Amino acid sequence: MTLRVGIIGGTGYTGAELLRILVRHPYAELTAITSRAEAGNSVAELFPNLRGVTDLRFSDPGNTDLDACQLVFSATPNGIAMTQAERLLRAGVRMIDLAADFRIRDRVTWERWYEMTHACPALLDEAVYGLPELNRKRIRAARLVANPGCYPTAVILGALPLIEKGVVNLDDIIADAKSGVSGAGRSAKLATLFSEAADNFKAYGVSGHRHYPEIMQVFREVAGSAPGLTFVPHLVPMIRGIHATLYFKALDTNHDLTQLFSDRYAREIFVDVMDPPGLPETRSVKGANTCRIAVHQHAGGRVVVLSVIDNLVKGAAGQAIQNMNIMFDLDEDAGLDRLALVP
């Protein structure tokens, strides 16, 4: 089959990754990509890595027939997809939002963290949280998928087996996470200028980060109650990658936790569980739709989980395409069989 696909807002890093993967996808035909600022310009002019691969041009969103698509990815800033979702769904177009508009089901919580009025609360309950390792069945039937955030993907996959089996104390979970600067987007910001981010390492969002309620929502649903979570993100001087170090207190030190993780993810082609004393590195997943995990148990009963992803692939565009493949009953790894780039 050939799947007609469109992208709303394809000029950022996430849009660039969608393009990079979709132009080589065996079942997808990219028919439209919108951008007000770049309308009329060649995609390959903005992204020279696509020269000779696509002759597609950016089009103005007001003059683009997205209704002809079977699926539309929204790779826009927060607050845009929620103004377009209802119309697209009415036209029979399925949608994957790579921003945060539909990730949190409680409108009040969403508006508090994102500091704007939600324009489409009627779809919050219908939207499916697009973490395939948790919601594959619901994703397959979904009209609207909320693609997870990058930090939540690494943190949730690193914690899920422990929470599902109830083998750790849920009152004291610590998620210490680091991200490369591409996670902040492509627009110019003081904190991500080369001279600010290079040779530097710092925490941010310590008192509260927008991905916190997203992680908590999933943990609450899996555990049946709200856990105690401390989540602190950091900016590190690299372009791609997330490394999440998760700390738990074991309730029973007799469990073989590596085996627990291996069993949980045995059928998950994009989750790799390392044997002890494995230490996953961000460069081992660069450019790949892979989450690599290792579990370490300390003598004092502390469990440490290391979880790494490429924030632009498994943390964004790759996971979105994985969701697309599931929604249309394609091979789940279609277009996503690329190995990581090393070094």
* Domain spans in the chain, listed from the N-terminal domain onward: 3-126, 150-311
pLDDT score of 128: 98
Classify each residue of 200-224 as buried b or exposed e, where b means 16 or more C-beta atoms within 10 Å of its C-beta. eeeeeeeeebbbbbbbbbbbbeeee
Sheet with 229-235, strands from edge to edge, namely 202-203, 229-235, 173-179, 242-249, 302-309, 291-297, 271-273
Spatial contact of 326 and 332, defined as CB atoms under 8 Å apart: yes
Say whether the peptide bond before residue 343 is cis (omega within 30 degrees of 0): yes
The predicted model gives 163-192 an average pLDDT of: 93
35 has pLDDT over 90:
yes
Please indicate whether residue 317 or residue 299 has the higher confidence score (pLDDT): 317
The predicted model gives 88-116 an average pLDDT of: 98
Q: Is residue 7 helix, strand or coil?
A: strand
In whole angstroms, what is the distance from residue 205 CA to residue 202 CA?
A: 10
**In which residue are the tokens 């995990």 written?**
293
112 has pLDDT over 90:
yes
pLDDT score of 201: 94
Q: Which residues are catalytic?
A: 150
299 has pLDDT over 80:
no
pLDDT tens readout for residues 205-255:
999 999 999 999 999 999 999 999 999 999 999 999 999 999 999 998 788
Q: CATH code for 3-126? A: 3.40.50.720
The predicted model gives 142-156 an average pLDDT of: 98
Q: What is the mean pLDDT of the chain?
A: 95
In whole angstroms, what is the distance from residue 225 CA to residue 227 CA?
A: 6
pLDDT band, residue 263 (cuts 50/70/90): very high
Spatial contact of 143 and 94, defined as CB atoms under 8 Å apart: yes
Q: What whole-number percentage of the chain has pLDDT above 70?
A: 100
Residue type for 225, please? S
Burial class (CB in 10 A: 0-12, 13-18, 19+), 125: exposed
**What number of other Cβ atoms are within 10 A of residue 276's Cβ?**
12
188 has pLDDT over 90:
no
pLDDT score of 38: 92
Taking the whole predicted model, whether its pTM rises above 0.95 is answered as yes
pLDDT score of 81: 96
In whole angstroms, what is the distance from residue 292 CA to residue 33 CA?
A: 32
pLDDT score of 301: 83
- Give domain 150-311's CATH architecture: 2-Layer Sandwich (3.30)
pLDDT band, residue 62 (cuts 50/70/90): confident
Rounded (10°) CA dihedral 329, 311, 81, 128: 40
Q: What whole-number percentage of the chain has pLDDT above 90?
A: 90
Element (H, E) at 310: none
Spatial contact of 55 and 81, defined as CB atoms under 8 Å apart: no
pLDDT tens readout for residues 302-311:
999 999 999 9
pLDDT score of 191: 86
The predicted model gives 291-312 an average pLDDT of: 94
pLDDT score of 163: 97
